[in-house]
Structure 1
Amino acid sequence: MLLNYLKIAWKVLLRRKFFTFISLFGISFTLMIMLVVMAFVNHVTGGHAPEKRIDRILFVSFLAQEYRDGGNRNTPVSADFIDRYVRTLKTPATVALTSMTSSATSFANNESLTLDVRYTDGNFWKVTDFDFLDGRPYSGKEVSSADRVCVINEHTARAFFGTTKGVSGRDIEIGINRYRIAGVVPDVAVIRFYSSADVWVPYTLSTSYVKSSRLDGEFMAMLLAKPGSEQLPAMHAEFAGVMRRVQPPNPKEVKSLHCHADPALSSIVREITMHTKTEDDGMSIFLLGCSALGLLFMLLPALNLVNLNVTRIMERASEIGVRKAFGASGGALVAQFLVENVVLAVLGGLLGLGLAAGALGLLNGSHLIAYSQFSLSWWAFGWGMVLALVFGLMSGVYPAWKMSRLNPVDALRGSGGGPQ
């Protein structure tokens, strides 16, 4: 029986090509957008190189200062802040320092290059998981002594030397400074906000690094937790306790200070939702909003399908009348119509998968986001298909019930009259 339903569904879809096209477009386009968005989110916050252990890392990104005159200021923190209040934490396995990226101009083979430079400490290479193509990371000792060493990415190595091998130990001129190359690493997507760069150098060489009591600066901290599911909450709680004891250096101007140790996505959401002054990172609001938008986005094609299906019933009234005249039950007609919708949802889902793969391929090939290689999330595709099937069934329930209630006589006349 099911095989017959599938054959009928296939014939119906081929017979009404315009209806099929509109329905497939709504389902596939919706699923494509969902998959592309999830690929982007996964690329930003997922456990990929060089942040393979991102599920064990908390980030101290911004210090919020609330002024007595009502003003606010959000900035990265200083190296001194990290030394005094972050490195002293007992719960993390390792605390690393990294900076915002800055641009530097260099020349390679008579061509000008603009390079992103990131300043880090030696622990940065212990918290991250870079696969070195050549050489090694610079050490904590080299950072302390402010040695002019650097690590460069694959793109920079090829631009200067045409290869990634045998590059370590050679010199490179970036801006007005000359550095000795310690190692070469694969390119990192620029949307990995805490680790991407073209060139990494010791933070003690940064012009913004000064030994002072200032709390704001150009740096961020990465806290790697010890193994264990309870370690992240423990790190978060310990840092929150430390921050409650931090006093503003200029209390006549600054009313309060706020800084948090958050997972990667939470640190971004906190800034977007402006939850910098509370322990609540805004994730619940963010997830609720994303869920509502996602359901609304999926609901729109479902409502469109309902309208199209009701219209299609009127067009198939005579066919339904013949089937009912020959003894087809209401349940059989409902089952057939639901099978047609499921087939449509599956085809739309597969088409959406193909469109998403094509869109991500074009995005990767365009190099619109430097060094990014987006990939499909099969987890997201699975949930997308489940939602497509659910909404496909939902969009078919009312039309199927309405079809099963048609009066055979009116249906044979093609009037689509009232129910039995």
Structure 2
Amino acid sequence: MLLNYLKIAWKVLLRRKFFTFISLFGISFTLMIMLVVMAMVNHITGAQAPEKRIDRMLFVSLLNQQLRDGGNMNSPMSAHFIDRYVRTLKTPATVALTSMTSTVTSFANNESLSLDVRYTDGNFWKVTDFEFLDGRPFTGQEVSRADRVCVISEHTARAFFGTTKGVAGRIMELGIYRYRIAGVVPNVPVIRFYSSADVWVPYTLSTSYRTDSRLDGEFIPILLAGPGAEALPAIRAEFAQVMRRVEVPDPKAVKKLSAHADPALASITRQLTNHTTTEDDGMGVFLLGCTVLGLLFMLLPALNLVNLNVTRILERSSEIGVRKAFGASGSALVGQFLVENLVLAGVGGLLGLGLAAGALHLLNGSHFIAYAQFGLSWWAFGWGLVLAVVFGLMSGVYPAWKMSRLHPMDALRGGGSGPQ
């Protein structure tokens, strides 16, 4: 029986090409958008090089100062604050720091280059997982001595020297200073907010490190947890205790200081949802909003399918009347129409997968997001296909049930309101 239903469903889809096209477009386009968005989210927050252990990392992206006049001031931390408070934590396996990127103009082969420079410490290379194409990272001793050394990206190496091999140990000019190159690493996508750059240099070379003793600055601590499920909660709890002991530098102007050690995605949602002063990182609000938007996005093609299914089934009222006159039960008719919708959802899901693969290939080739290479998320595809099937079934249940209740004579006349 099921095989017959599948054969009928396939023939019906081929016979009504316009209905099939509209339905497949709605399902496949919706699934394609979902897969592309999930690929981008995974590239930002997933375990991708050089942050392969991002599930064990916590980031303190903002220091919030609640002012007594009612305002708030949010900024990264100073190196002074990190050295005095964050590096005293006992629970992290490693404490590193990184800065926000700044742009420096340099010249290579008579061409002007705008390079993103990031200040880091020696531990930065311990918490990240860079693959070195040449040379090595700069060490903690070089950082403490404020040596003018740097690590450069593959793109920067090719721009200056035309190769990535034999570059370590050579000298390059960055702004008004000359740096000795310690190593070369692969290009990092710009959407890896805490590690991407064209050039990495010791943070002790930053002017803010030498002159700024304030609590706010340009640096973000990265806390790497050890193995174990309790490691991250323990670090967050200890960091919260340390923050309670931080002295307010200007009690007359500043009422309270707050900062939070968050996973990568939570550090973003905290800023998006403006939860910088509370323990709640805004993840619940963010996920709820994404879920509602996703369901609404999936619901629109489902409602469209309901209308199309009603029209399609009304066109087949004579067929339904003949089948009922020959003894077909209402459940058999409902089953047939549901199988047709399942076939439609399955084909639409496969087309959506193909469209998403093509869209990601074009996005990667366009270099719209520098150095990013997006890949399909099979987890997202599985859930997307399940939702497509569920909405496909929902769009077919009501019209199928309604027509299966018609009296054979009403169905043969092209529809009616009286159930059998």
Q: TM-score, normalised by structure 1?
A: 0.98
Q: Is the 8 A contact 1:65 1:256 kept in 2?
A: yes
Residues in 1 aligned to 2:31 and 2:72: alpha-carbon distance in whole angstroms: 40
| Residues 266-305 of structure 1: pairs in structure 2 closer than 5 A | 266-305=266-305
| Residues 336-355 of structure 1: pairs in structure 2 closer than 5 A | 336-355=336-355
Q: Is the 8 A contact 1:314 1:416 kept in 2?
A: no
Residues in 2 aligned to 1:212 and 1:160: alpha-carbon distance in whole angstroms: 33
* Aligned residues: CA RMSD: 1.0
Where 1:191 maps in the other structure, the secondary structure is coil
Residues in 2 aligned to 1:227 and 1:326: alpha-carbon distance in whole angstroms: 68
The offset of 1:418, in angstroms, is: 2.7
Q: What is the aligned length?
A: 420
User: What residue number does 2:370 align with?
Assistant: 370
Which ranges of structure 2 fall in alignment gaps of 5 or more residues?
none
User: What residue number does 1:27 align with?
Assistant: 27
User: Residues 43-98 of structure 1, C-alpha deviation per residue, up to 9 Å, x if partnerless?
Assistant: 00001110000000000111011111111111000001100111000000000010
Residues in 2 aligned to 1:330 and 1:367: alpha-carbon distance in whole angstroms: 55
1:72 is aligned to 2:72: yes
For 1:115, give the aligned amino acid: L
| Residues 212-227 of structure 1: pairs in structure 2 closer than 5 A | 212-227=212-227
| Residues 99-114 of structure 1: pairs in structure 2 closer than 5 A | 99-114=99-114
For 1:79, give the aligned amino acid: A
The offset of 1:399, in angstroms, is: 1.2
Q: Is the 8 A contact 1:34 1:384 kept in 2?
A: yes
The offset of 1:209, in angstroms, is: 1.5
Q: Is the 8 A contact 2:406 2:415 kept in 1?
A: no
User: What residue number does 2:234 align with?
Assistant: 234
User: Residues 123-181 of structure 1, C-alpha deviation per residue, up to 9 Å, x if partnerless?
Assistant: 00000000101100000000000111000011111111111111101111111111111
User: What residue number does 1:360 align with?
Assistant: 360
User: What residue number does 2:201 align with?
Assistant: 201
Larger displacement relative to structure 2 (408-417 or 262-271): 408-417
Q: Is the 8 A contact 1:317 1:416 kept in 2?
A: no
Residues in 1 aligned to 2:363 and 2:175: alpha-carbon distance in whole angstroms: 31
For 1:264, give the aligned amino acid: A
Q: Is the 8 A contact 1:79 1:217 kept in 2?
A: yes
Residues in 2 aligned to 1:171 and 1:44: alpha-carbon distance in whole angstroms: 33
Residues in 2 aligned to 1:84 and 1:224: alpha-carbon distance in whole angstroms: 18
Which ranges of structure 1 fall in alignment gaps of 5 or more residues?
none
For 2:391, give the aligned amino acid: F
| Residues 40-119 of structure 1: pairs in structure 2 closer than 5 A | 40-119=40-119
For 2:2, give the aligned amino acid: L
The offset of 1:414, in angstroms, is: 2.2
Where 1:132 maps in the other structure, the secondary structure is coil
Q: Structure 1 segments of 4 or more deviating over 2 A?
A: 210-213, 413-418
Larger displacement relative to structure 2 (66-75 or 189-198): 66-75
Where 2:88 maps in the other structure, the secondary structure is coil
Residues in 1 aligned to 2:271 and 2:90: alpha-carbon distance in whole angstroms: 27
Residues in 1 aligned to 2:250 and 2:170: alpha-carbon distance in whole angstroms: 46
Alpha carbons of structure 1 residues 106 and 211: separation in structure 2 relative to 1, 3 Å:
closer
Residues in 1 aligned to 2:241 and 2:209: alpha-carbon distance in whole angstroms: 26
Residues in 2 aligned to 1:251 and 1:143: alpha-carbon distance in whole angstroms: 34
Residues in 2 aligned to 1:177 and 1:373: alpha-carbon distance in whole angstroms: 33
Where 1:65 maps in the other structure, the secondary structure is strand
| Residues 325-344 of structure 1: pairs in structure 2 closer than 5 A | 325-344=325-344
Identical columns (%) = 82
1:389 is aligned to 2:389: yes
Residues in 2 aligned to 1:82 and 1:414: alpha-carbon distance in whole angstroms: 77
For 1:241, give the aligned amino acid: Q
Q: TM-score, normalised by structure 2?
A: 0.98
1:191 is aligned to 2:191: yes
Q: Is the 8 A contact 1:333 1:404 kept in 2?
A: yes
Residues in 2 aligned to 1:381 and 1:370: alpha-carbon distance in whole angstroms: 25
